[in-house]
Structure formats: structure tokens, C-alpha cells
Amino acid sequence: MLKNSKPILIVSGESKSIFFEIFFKSLKFKKFKSPIILISSHKLLRQQIKKFKFRKKIKLIDLKDVNNIKLNNDVINLINVKYNNLKKNEYIENSFEIAFNLIKKGITNKLINGPINKKSFLKKKFLGITEFISQKFKKKKIAMLIYNKDLSVCPITTHLPLKLVAKTISQKLIFEKTELIYQFYKKNLGIKPKIAVTGLNPHCESILNLNEDKLIVSPAIKTLKKLGYNVDGPFSADTIFLRQNRKKYDVIVGMYHDQVLSPMKTLLEYDAINITLGLPFLRISPDHGPNAKMLGKNSSDPTSLTWALKFLDK
């Protein structure tokens, strides 16, 4: 789908997650053209290969020679990161730093990260991994796109407590995120997307004098339409996802996280990927968390990770 064959970097993420299971299943499901470089613990990887009886050798990559090594997906190309069970956050941080350095050196422009426990890793310093990565590249204009080829969603605010949402949304934010969506679709998919925007309040109405849908959302949409963007709304969030409504649009933009992610996951389950817009590279994560309750059961669905790899594959 993309126009180069640079390697796909994968940060495995949380040590206690379903990542290795879905990674092995993805590699069994499809052969990928782009070389894949896994950034993870050699020790943890060997343990999981044995546990899941996965038949693939490991090829260790020295960071000093990463430019000169011939990569292929007949083996698992691994950059080893030391793992200490008492310093799990340090392990994840080091894994990301290796990936960021390789991206900054121009080795690749493709990154996938496995599931991460945001509460323990971020420690309230960032709203989510999206914001953590964006800060590392000093990018403030970003957007979270939960992408599916038939329907995608984007929340104006991400992992923000509901009581703060109304204070945070603005015409500027709606404009910036819509613009990022347009740029992404035109550059990577070659289309001008049709976008629906939800209101904040139930039925886009309010019993209060301050109605954000009239004062913020509607003016933002009018401005976008004047500038040539194919945007409609505001729509009531309880009906925009009905079949006859959603099929008219490529993307539904909502005011807060669960307003658009809950119906999206109900409709598509794992058939979507989380793409961060606004970065100087493509960062994708599977659209689910570590799911520690499923560890060792060998019944986790690899669809989202498989789609992430397919999207970046060339």
C-alpha cells in the first residue's frame, strides 16, 4: 500500500500481554514483503517460541550493523533489549528509544507497537501512547485514527476524563484533526474522504444556555465546508452509526473517545488499526490492549496486528 520497502519496526511492548501469540499467528497467516524487525527481549521471545511451538529461527541484529544486514522474513530479525522483571517500564522505554533512533536515522518510516499497559507505563504523564510518541518527536498537531477501509473513526479528545471534554473541545481542534485526516487519506489512499462529525450533547441539544454544538461544532464544520472539505454535521451520536447513515462516510469524527470507539469496536471488533496522524512516520498499533486475562490460552484474535502489518507492507 505504501511506496517503499523499508523494514517494519515492531516494539513488542508489555511483557505480560498477548503480543507474542498474535505475532506468531500473523506470521503464520501471511508472508510479508517488507522485512520485519522485532525490538524485544531475546529471552522472552525464546520462551514464547517454545511455549507456542512456533517454528522460526531468531537472527540477532547488532544496532551498529543494521544498515548492512540483509533482512528476510524466513527468520525473526531481532534487536535484543535486556529485560528485568523488576524494571518493566525501563524495558519498554528502551525498546521505544531504539525504534525512535532508527526512524530518526532514516532506516525506516514504519512503526508498530504491541499492547502496553498505559496506567503503569505512562504514570499519568501522558493521556496515552499516542501522546507519548508525539512528544518524543515534538509534534502537537496529532490525531488518533481508528482505521478500517470501510469506516474509520477519530475522537477529538482521546483518553480524557468526561468532565474535561466540554472544556477541551474547540473549533481549532476540530479543524486540525479534520485536516490531518484529509492529508492522510489523500497521501496514503489517494482519496478525499467523506467525513461526518458528531455533536457533543445528546441529540446535539442542551438544556443549558451554553450549547457547544451551536457555539463550537457547527461553526467549525461551516468553516471546513467553505474551505472545500467534504464534511457534514453535527450529527447525533446515537444515530450516525446506523447502517444507512454510516455507509455514506469514510470517517466519523466524535468529540470523545468512547463516543466513537465503542460503536466502532461493536461493529468491527478487531478488524481495525490505530494510526497516529501528524507524525513524520507511520505509527500503528493493534486496536486492543495487553489482555493479560487471555495469556497462555492461545485463543486471541490476531486480525488487528495482521492488518497493521498488511497496511505497512510493500
Q: Which residue has the higher pLDDT, 87 or 9?
A: 9
pLDDT at 293 over 80: no
User: Domain 1-139+279-314 class?
Assistant: alpha beta
Q: What percent of the chain has pLDDT over 90?
A: 76
Strands, sheet with 143-147, edge to edge from the N-terminal-most edge strand = 58-60, 76-80, 36-40, 8-11, 110-113, 282-286, 273-277, 143-147, 152-155, 251-254, 195-198, 231-235
pLDDT at 1 over 60: no
For residue 81, which of 22, 9, 134, 24 has the smallest C-alpha distance? 9
CATH of region 144-273: 3.40.718.10
pLDDT at 4 over 50: no
pLDDT at 65 over 80: no
Q: Which residue has the higher pLDDT, 263 or 286?
A: 263
pLDDT at 207 over 80: yes
Q: What is the mean pLDDT of the chain?
A: 92
Domain positions in the chain are 1-139+279-314, 144-273
pLDDT band at 265 (very low <50, low <70, confident <90, very high): very high
Q: Which residue has the higher pLDDT, 119 or 224?
A: 224
